[in-house]
Structure 1
Amino acid sequence: MTYRNVVSAVVRALASETINSAGGCDFEPKVQCAKQKGEIVGKEAAFLTDCWVFGRLHKALAPAHWRALVAKFSTHTERKHAAIAELTRAMRSPAPERFLHCAVVTWALPRLPGVDGKRSTNVLPAGWYEMDNWSNEPHPVKTQERWRRDIRKALEREVDEALVSAQVLLDAEGLIGTQAA
């Protein structure tokens, strides 16, 4: 199996963790069952590849890169929240701690289109997206916007670096498909 691009590989690998009812990349029963029938093909092969990519990325990427990818792309709620908390602790900003935390949370859980933004289970209440609620002390709007912009740029830079590292790794394994234009 090959992926169209590195983002689809990362998204599928992180989603593989929540595919089965027990959670986690529980591919061994599927492999054992497939071995009895013959070659592993179809959905089982794709799922096995996704689980393998998950493990490979988790082990090979720097912890900071892994955290950024999990916070941005994971569908596993507990891991996503843990990654957000770790990113908040690792970030450096002149913004107050609460502002920093809210900026990271709203970056990782952006407001989505739809009725009240509720197309997803990972949606925050509307008050989370208002910067005035992010600090107890009054700060000029321009300062708040600058803090938020700088925090988001740093987070996106971390994600971009993580994707570049993942691209190198997956290219070496031959998992990213190349198509002629």
Structure 2
Amino acid sequence: MIYSSVLSAVVSALAAECIDSTAKQAWQKLIDLDTARVGAGSNAHQRMQVDCWVFARLHRELIPRHWNALVARYSTHNGRKVEAIGRLAPIIASPASRLFVYKAVTAWAIPPLKGAEGKRSSKMIVLPAEFYDMNTWDLEANHERTRRRWRQAVGVVLDEMVSEALRAAEVILAGEGVLLSHAA
């Protein structure tokens, strides 16, 4: 099986552990998973095996901060996402308090969902709207402009980590020949 891009490989691999193997409804069988991943000759079981292999390979080969950045940003596994957030927050250098940095990392990893208001039927993490109020992040009541600058700086660092992680993942996956652009 060959992935169309590094991002599709990462997202697919991180979603693999949350995919169930239960029987599907008729309408669910109509969705063609091969549109996201090239490999028309592979069945669902083979795709799952490759996704799990890519997951293990990336987990082993990437440095911890890169792995945690990808998991925090793209994983659908709530436990792993929360764990990654907890590991990323302490390594972010910022003049802001640790509480502020932790909440900024959490807000970056779990953006607000429109219309969710904490009552979504999916198993995704949905934080209350009050969580995203930066006034609750800073107990020292710094200026709004300062808080926005801090939040933006944390987001820039995290986005750079994700970009670095995707470049490192591309090297790993290209070496394995599972990317369309590097396929033999």
TM bucket normalised to smaller = 0.7 to 0.9
Which residue of the partner structure matches residue 80 of structure 1?
81
Task: Give the partner amino acid of 2:155.
Answer: R
Aligned partner of 1:163 in structure 2 is 166
Shift of residue 172 of structure 1? 1.3
Report the Cα distance in structure 2 between the residues aligned to 1:63 and 1:45, rounded to whole angstroms. Answer: 28
SS in 2 for 1:95: coil
Which of 117, 124, 145 pairs up with 2:127?
Answer: 124
How far apart in 2 are the matches of 1:58 and 1:87?
Answer: 15
Amino acid at match of 2:149: R
Work out the CA distance in 2 between the residues paired with 1:65 and 1:12.
17
1:91 matched residue in structure 2 = 92
- Please tell me whether the aligned partners of residues 118 and 128 of structure 2 are also in contact (alpha carbons under 8 angstroms): no
CA contact (8 A) 2:14 2:71 kept: yes
**1:53 — aligned with what?**
54
Match in the other structure for 1:154: 157
CA-to-partner distance for each residue in 1:51-109, whole Å, 9 max, x for gaps?
A: 00000000000111001111111111111111100101111110011111110000000
Q: Which residue of 2 aligns with 1:8?
A: 8
What is the match of residue 145 of structure 1?
148
Residues 99 and 135, structure 1, Cα contact 8 Å, conserved in 2: yes
Distance 1:141 1:13 in 2: 39
Q: What residue ranges of structure 2 are gaps of 5+ in the alignment?
A: 22-40
C-alpha contact 2:90 2:98 (8 A) present in aligned 1: no
Aligned length: 162
**Is the 1:111–1:117 Cα contact (8 Å) retained in structure 2?**
no
Q: 1:106 & 1:77 partners in 2: Cα distance?
A: 14
Q: 2: CA distance between counterparts of 1:153 and 1:117?
A: 27
Return the offset for 1:4: 1.3
Alpha-carbon distance in 2 for matches of 1:118, 1:68: 27
Partner residue in 2 for 1:107: 108
TM-score normalised over the length of structure 2: 0.82
Q: Secondary structure at the match of 1:116?
A: coil
Distance 1:139 1:158, change over 3 A: same
Q: In 2, distance between residues paired with 1:125 and 1:15?
A: 24
Aligned 8 A contact 2:117 2:126 in 1: no
Query: Distance in 2 between the 1:124 and 1:132 partners?
Result: 16
Q: Quick one: structure 1 residues 116 and 165, their matched pair in 2 at CA, closer, same or farther if it must change by over 3 Å?
A: same
- Separation (CA, whole Å) in 2 of partners of 1:146 and 1:13: 34
Tell me if the contact between 2:116 and 2:126 (Cα under 8 Å) persists in the aligned partners: no
